[in-house]
């Protein structure tokens, strides 16, 4: 079925839960370009503002349909800082100046096509500045909050710094990632979250576990659903293979074809078109929603996903160092020097065609589920927000077209609204896994990243020791040092660092970040011992103030979060 006309039912056929996972690690004060703050400014201009604009447009037109957006606490913390606001405005000015310089260069060369393209970039960044300053008053968190308060979106939480929860070495660390993330969410959005995006969709059930790096000892650990239930979290998302079995479709699998692991397992007979529950202790149950594999692969696959279409803007070729992009994908196998000029009209046509194809696929999936079960089903479509506009420039255009095409045919609803109307009918158990290569932990735990986990485990133990040794101390300097120890641990635990090491995309930067946070943690431990004895060195106070300014998320950090009671 490829035509919307063949698929349109007389009444809504089912539900679409479209999920955007919005995350970047803490980059403020840790470099600018090519790795560092530029990531945040690029994502804001190319992803966050366009998505806010399209949601506002749909609301102004009275369109139905809602989506779920996960905004990680560490990203919320960055978006709330004056450093982000000032840096983003400076970035927009620099990009606009670059576009205007390109216009002059292309005009002098008689290249009218690229001159017009440069003018379009100037308009793009000028529009981003107008939206940021005039429409959203330099406050993106309030803009997302307003959409949530009007039921246009549901914002879900994540672990504080996107720590890879199944591999963290202490339950206290998981508890702190959850408690700190929820506290940040409440401060940013004014209410408690109902659901969570588990970093990398990574889940671990309860079993006798031992650390995969460093000294080994085994002990019984609770499943993640147990800890989520303690914090009042009602649902999370998993990859389809954890529910339905079969081979994982992955998210990053195409990057590792030479090292692909066979993680397929027998089919379970369970469907990703149904919600399920996992039992936590007592009467608490946590719902899970599984990614739909058929629609997901259309966007994620490097081989035949939509973003690889030849009409779309080529991400990797730029005009000069850190320049603007004027070429299209053309053919993914072509060298960058052979790419042809970008045609925005052709790209818009392809985005519309791909939206039509995706909408038809959603309808076909829901129709097949209803035919097989007699029940209304759901298509869960989770993606990284940064795909839409940054990696895939036309992504926001495609997303808006999908929501428009499906209106009246499928109910696009938030995860909470879907679960309220269709609570899980079955309680199940699922295996350990993630949405990464092979469906397990390989991307984050391998021979190239094991040293990171050794440092994480050492720091986890070190913080617990420091907390126990200072629990009764009221000295403000001691409390500041311990709080900064906790921040450095949280930043060290981010899943981004092993991911970037494995994918090699920013390996040197990620390794440097790990070493920076380890170095800061170790110096703070030494300072703590001196502070307890009243023998701080003369330069310790200045260094502490500097590190507090550089690594400053979670200003109201609660050190009691490193217990097992929420």
Residue of 221, 222, 223 whose CA lies nearest to 210: 221
Residues 6+ apart with CB under 8 A from 357: 2, 298
> Which of 368, 384, 461, 522 does the annotation list as catalytic?
384
Q: Are 167 and 161 in contact (CB under 8 A)?
A: no
To the query of whether residue 123 is one of the catalytic residues in this protein, the response is no
Cα 49 versus chain centre, distance: 16
Report d(CA 494, CA 500) in Å as an integer. Answer: 11
Residue of 404, 299, 388 whose CA lies nearest to 64: 404
Strands in 1-152 per DSSP E: 15-22, 67-71
Residues 6+ apart with CB under 8 A from 400: 54, 57, 58
> CA-CA-CA-CA torsion for 425, 426, 427, 429, nearest 10 degrees?
-140
Q: Which pair of tokens denotes residue 565? A: 């009671």
- Residue 97 CB: number of other CB atoms within 10 A? 12
457-480 b/e (C-beta count within 10 Å ≥ 16 → b): bbbbebbbebbeebeeeeeebbeb
The dihedral region occupied by 370, where left means phi > 0, alpha psi between -120 and 50, and beta the remainder, is alpha
To the query of whether residue 349 is one of the catalytic residues in this protein, the response is no
**What is the three-class DSSP state of 234?**
coil
In 3-state terms the chain splits into helix, strand, coil percentages (rounded to 5) of 50, 10, 35
> Which of 37, 46, 77, 200 does the annotation list as catalytic?
200
Q: Beta strand pairing status for 153-158 and 67-71? A: parallel
Report d(CA 383, CA 151) in Å as an integer. Answer: 20
Question: If 0-12 CB within 10 Å is exposed, 13-18 middle and 19+ buried, where does residue 284 land?
Answer: middle
Residue of 409, 237, 388 whose CA lies nearest to 299: 388
Cα 141 versus chain centre, distance: 16
Active site amino acids: 200, 384
């Amino acid at each position: 079925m490829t035509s919307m006309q063949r698929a349109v039912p007389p009444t809504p056929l089912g539900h679409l839960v479209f999920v955007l996972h919005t995350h970047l690690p803490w980059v403020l004060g840790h470099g600018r370009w090519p790795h560092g703050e530029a990531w945040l400014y690029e994502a804001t201009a190319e992803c966050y503002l366009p998505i806010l604009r399209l949601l506002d447009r749909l609301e102004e037109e009275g369109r139905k349909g809602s989506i779920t957006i996960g905004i990680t606490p560490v990203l919320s913390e960055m978006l709330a800082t004056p450093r982000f606001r000032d840096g983003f405005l400076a970035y927009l000015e620099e990009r606009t100046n670059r576009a205007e310089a390109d216009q002059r260069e292309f005009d002098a060369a008689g290249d009218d096509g690229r001159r017009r393209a440069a003018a379009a970039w100037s308009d793009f960044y000028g529009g981003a500045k107008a939206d940021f300053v005039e429409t959203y008053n330099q406050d993106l968190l309030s803009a997302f909050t307003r959409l949530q308060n009007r039921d246009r979106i549901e914002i879900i939480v994540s672990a504080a710094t996107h720590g890879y929860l199944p591999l963290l070495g202490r339950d206290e660390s998981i508890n702190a990632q959850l408690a700190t993330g929820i506290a940040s969410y409440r401060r940013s959005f004014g209410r408690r979250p109902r659901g969570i995006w588990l970093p990398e969709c990574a889940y671990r059930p309860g079993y006798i576990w031992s650390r995969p790096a460093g000294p080994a000892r085994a002990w019984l650990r609770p499943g993640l659903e147990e800890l989520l239930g303690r914090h009042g979290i009602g649902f999370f998302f998993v990859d389809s293979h954890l529910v339905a079995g079969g081979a994982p479709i992955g998210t990053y699998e195409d990057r590792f074809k030479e090292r692909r692991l066979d993680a397929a397992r027998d089919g379970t007979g369970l469907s990703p078109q149904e919600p399920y529950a996992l039992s936590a202790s007592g009467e608490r149950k946590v719902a899970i929603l599984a990614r739909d594999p058929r629609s997901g692969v259309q966007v994620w696959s490097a081989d035949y996903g939509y973003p690889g279409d030849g009409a779309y803007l080529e991400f990797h070729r730029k005009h000069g160092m850190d320049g603007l992009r004027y070429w299209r994908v053309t053919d993914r196998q072509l060298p960058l020097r052979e790419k042809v000029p970008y045609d925005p009209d052709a790209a818009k046509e392809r985005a519309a065609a791909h939206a039509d194809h995706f909408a038809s696929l959603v309808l076909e999936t829901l129709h097949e589920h209803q035919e097989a079960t007699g029940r209304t089903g759901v298509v869960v479509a989770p993606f990284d927000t940064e795909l839409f506009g940054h990696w895939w420039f036309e992504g926001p255009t495609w997303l808006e077209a999908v929501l428009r095409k499906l209106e009246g045919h499928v109910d696009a609803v938030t995860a909470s609204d879907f679960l309220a109307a269709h609570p899980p009918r079955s309680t199940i158990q699922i295996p350990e896994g993630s949405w990464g290569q092979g469906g397990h932990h390989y991307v984050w735990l391998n021979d190239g990243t094991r040293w990171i986990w050794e440092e994480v485990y050492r720091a986890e133990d070190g913080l617990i020791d420091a907390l126990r040794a200072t629990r009764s101390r009221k000295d403000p300097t001691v409390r500041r040092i311990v709080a900064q120890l906790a921040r450095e641990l949280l930043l060290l635990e981010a899943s981004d660092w092993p991911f970037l090491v494995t994918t090699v995309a920013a390996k040197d930067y990620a390794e440097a970040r790990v070493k920076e946070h380890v170095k800061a943690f170790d110096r703070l431990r030494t300072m703590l011992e001196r502070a307890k004895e009243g023998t701080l060195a003369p330069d310790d106070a200045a260094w502490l103030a500097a590190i507090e300014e550089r690594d400053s998320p979670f200003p109201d950090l609660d050190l009691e979060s490193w217990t097992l009671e929420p």
